C-alpha cells in the first residue's frame, strides 16, 4: 500500500488539512466500518451474534498483545487512559510514592491524587526533555512508582522506553507508561522495556475513536487478589451468574467488569491491522520524514520549534512557539486547517494520512497570518 492509497482510507483528510492527531485524528474507513458493522448487526439481528463477537474480542486482544510484545493474558480493554490509570493505582495498593514528569497530562496524575498517593514532580528541561539525572535527584526512599507518558502531549518529547525501563529496574521502581500519544506510530515493546503497566486511549494515534483503550499488566502484577474491581464479567464463568462468591479470571481481563464495548474494540482491531499491513518501521520512518519536512519549512519561515529536534527524542508532535496560539488556531480553522494550542504555542501533529502538501498548506497559511504570529527572536 503506498501513501496515496493510505490517504484515501481517511476521507476527512481531503476535507481538512488535518494536523491534529494529538487531539484526535480521523478514523480510517476500515476502522469506522468495523465499529459500524457491530451497530448494523445489532440493528438487523439483535444479540444473536454475541458468541461470535466475544470470539472477535479475543482476536483483537491477541492482536493488541502482539503489537506491544505482550501475552494476551496481560491485556485488558478499558474505555480511557484515566480508567486504566485508576485501575493501576488500585492494583498498587499504596506501595510507595509516585514520581512523575511535571508536564504530564492529568490522566497520568489525578488518579493517584484521588487514591491518596503522594505524587512528586520532576521538571523537564528545554524543549520538554526529561533528563534521567533529574529523575534520579528526585527519588526519595519512599519513591516506588514512576509514571511517565511515552510521548508528552504538550512538548512532543518522546521517552526512550528501553533506557527508562533499565533505569527503573536498577532502582527497583515500578514503571507505568501512558502510551496514548505514541501508540500506533512508534515502537512499544513492553518486554524489552521492562514496563510494568502500560495504558493508552484508542482515540488518538491508535485511530480507533472514543471509548476504547488498552491496559497491559506485567506478569508480576497479574495477581487477581490485588485487583481493585470486579463485576459479573470478571469471573471465569459469567453465564453461571453466581453472586455469592468470587471466581475471577486469572488474567488482566478480570479488570473488564461488564460487557465489552464491541464497536470500539472492533474499530481498534481494524486500526491495528492497518498498522500491521503498512509496517511499524515504515510508519515510524514516515512520521520522521513528515516532521523533518515540517521543521525545515518552519526554520525557513523563521518560526521557532519548541519541541525536541533530535529524531530519538521526537514524536509526531511539533510545537511552534507563539504566544497567541489560541487565536491562530481559530484563524487556521476558518481555512479548514486543524491544529491545537498547547504548551508553548501551536501543536501540529502528523500521522500516516498526512502529506507534504498538508505541511505546505499550513506554512502558507501561517505566512498569510504573519502579523498574528509571534516569531521568536532567538
- Name the residue nearer to ligand PLP (CB basis): 80 or 307: 80
Q: Which is nearer to ligand PLP, 16 or 105 (CB)?
A: 105
Would you tell me how many other CB atoms lie within 10 Å of the CB of residue 217?
A: 28
Verify binding: residue 80, ligand PLP, rule CB under 6 A.
Answer: yes
Query: Which grid cell is 184?
Result: 500506533
The nearest distance, CB 313 to ligand PLP, in angstroms, is 16
List, edge to edge, every strand of the sheet that includes 143-149.
75-78, 213-217, 197-201, 174-178, 143-149, 97-101, 119-122
Q: Which is nearer to ligand PLP, 80 or 207 (CB)?
A: 80
Helix runs in the chain, H state only: 3-8, 12-15, 29-45, 50-67, 81-91, 106-114, 132-138, 161-170, 262-278, 280-301, 325-334, 356-368
Least spacing, CB of residue 25 vs ligand PLP, in Å: 12
Find the shortest distance in angstroms from Cβ 264 to ligand PLP. Answer: 12
CA distance 26 to 4: 16
Is residue 153 a contact point for ligand PLP (CB under 6 A)?
yes
Q: Return the residue of 3, 16, 53, 105 that touches ligand PLP, per CB under 6 A.
A: 105
Residue 46 CB, shortest distance to ligand PLP, in Å, is 31
Burial of 331 from C-beta contacts in 10 A (0-12 / 13-18 / 19+): middle
**Shortest distance in whole angstroms from residue 80 CB to ligand PLP:** 3
- Cβ nearer to ligand PLP, comparing 180 with 207: 180
Q: Which of 74, 82, 86, 291 binds ligand PLP (CB under 6 A)?
A: 82
Which listed range, 2-10, 79-87, 298-306, 331-339, lies at the site for ligand PLP (CB under 6 A)?
Answer: 79-87
Cell numbers 440493528: residue? 43
Q: Is 81 one of the binding residues for ligand PLP (CB under 6 A)? A: yes
Return the half-sphere exposure (C-beta side, CA atoms, 13 A cut-off) of residue 139: 17
Residue with cell 502528523: 350
Among 17, 74, 109, 149, binds ligand PLP (CB under 6 A): 149
Sequence-distant (≥ 6) Cβ neighbours of residue 299 within 8 angstroms: 305
**Alpha-carbon gap, residue 135 to 148, rounded angstroms:** 11
Which of 107, 251, 318, 340 touches ligand PLP (CB under 6 A)? 107
| 236-255 binders of ligand PLP (CB under 6 A) | none
Distance between CA atoms of 265 and 251, rounded to whole angstroms? 18
> Which residue, 24 or 230, has its beta carbon nearer to ligand PLP?
24
Which stretch in 77-85, 93-101, 244-252, 303-311 sits in contact with ligand PLP by CB under 6 A? 77-85
Chain positions 171 to 210 lying near ligand PLP, rule: CB under 6 A, are 178, 180-181, 201
- Specify the residue, 249 or 308, whose C-beta has the smaller distance to ligand PLP: 308
Query: Which lies closer to ligand PLP via its Cβ, residue 187 or residue 238?
Result: 187
CA distance 161 to 149: 10
CB-CB neighbours of 114 under 10 Å = 12
Find, among 252, 268, 246, 225, the residue nearest to 67 by Cα: 268
Q: Identify which of residues 74 and 82 has a Cβ nearer to ligand PLP in the complex.
A: 82
Nearer to ligand PLP, 164 or 303 (CB): 164
Which one, of 116, 122, 118, lies nearest residue 86 by Cα? 116
Nearest-angstrom CA–CA distance, 15 and 192: 40
- Region near ligand PLP per CB under 6 A, out of 56-64, 80-88, 126-134, 325-333: 80-88
Q: How far is the CB of 75 from ligand PLP (least distance, A)?
A: 17
* Interaction site with ligand PLP (CB under 6 A): 80-82, 105, 107, 149, 153, 178, 180-181, 201, 213
Amino acid at each position: 500500500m503506498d501513501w496515496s492509497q493510505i490517504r484515501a482510507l481517511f476521507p476527512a483528510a481531503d476535507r481538512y488539512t488535518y494536523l491534529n492527531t494529538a487531539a484526535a485524528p480521523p478514523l480510517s474507513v476500515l476502522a469506522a466500518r468495523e465499529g459500524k458493522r457491530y451497530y448494523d448487526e445489532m440493528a438487523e439481528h439483535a444479540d444473536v451474534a454475541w458468541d461470535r463477537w466475544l470470539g472477535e474480542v479475543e482476536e483483537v486482544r491477541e492482536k493488541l498483545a502482539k503489537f506491544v510484545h505482550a501475552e494476551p493474558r496481560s491485556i485488558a480493554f478499558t474505555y480511557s487512559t484515566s480508567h486504566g490509570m485508576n485501575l493501576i493505582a488500585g492494583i498498587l495498593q499504596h506501595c510507595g510514592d509516585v514520581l512523575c514528569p511535571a508536564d504530564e497530562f492529568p490522566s497520568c496524575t489525578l488518579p493517584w491524587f484521588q487514591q491518596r498517593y503522594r505524587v512528586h514532580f520532576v521538571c523537564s528541561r528545554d524543549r520538554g526533555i526529561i533528563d534521567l539525572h533529574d529523575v534520579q535527584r528526585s527519588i526519595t526512599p519512599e519513591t516506588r512508582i514512576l509514571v511517565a507518558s511515552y510521548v508528552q502531549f504538550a512538548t512532543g518529547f518522546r521517552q526512550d522506553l528501553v533506557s527508562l525501563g533499565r533505569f527503573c529496574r536498577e532502582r527497583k521502581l515500578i514503571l507505568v507508561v501512558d502510551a496514548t500519544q505514541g501508540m500506533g506510530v512508534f515502537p512499544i515493546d513492553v518486554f524489552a522495556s521492562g514496563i510494568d503497566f502500560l495504558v493508552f486511549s484508542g482515540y488518538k494515534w491508535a485511530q480507533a475513536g472514543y471509548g476504547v483503550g488498552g491496559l497491559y499488566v506485567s506478569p508480576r502484577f497479574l495477581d487477581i487478589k490485588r485487583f481493585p474491581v470486579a463485576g459479573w464479567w470478571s469471573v471465569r464463568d459469567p453465564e453461571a451468574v453466581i453472586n455469592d462468591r468470587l471466581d475471577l479470571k486469572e488474567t488482566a481481563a478480570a479488570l473488564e467488569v461488564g460487557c465489552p464495548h464491541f464497536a470500539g474494540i472492533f474499530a481498534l482491531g481494524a486500526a491495528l491491522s492497518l498498522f500491521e499491513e503498512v509496517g511499524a518501521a515504515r510508519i515510524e520512518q514516515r512520521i520522521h520524514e513528515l516532521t523533518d519536512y515540517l521543521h525545515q519549512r518552519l526554520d525557513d519561515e523563521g518560526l521557532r520549534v519548541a519541541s525536541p529536534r533530535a529524531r530519538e527524542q521526537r514524536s509526531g508532535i511539533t510545537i511552534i512557539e507563539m504566544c497567541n496560539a489560541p487565536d491562530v488556531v481559530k484563524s487556521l480553522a476558518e481555512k479548514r486547517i486543524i491544529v491545537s494550542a498547547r504548551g508553548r504555542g501551536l501543536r501540529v501533529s502528523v500521522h500516516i494520512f498526512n502529506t507534504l502538501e498538508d505541511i505546505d498548506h499550513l506554512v502558507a497559511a501561517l505566512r498569510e497570518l504573519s502579523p498574528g504570529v509571534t516569531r521568536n527572536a532567538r
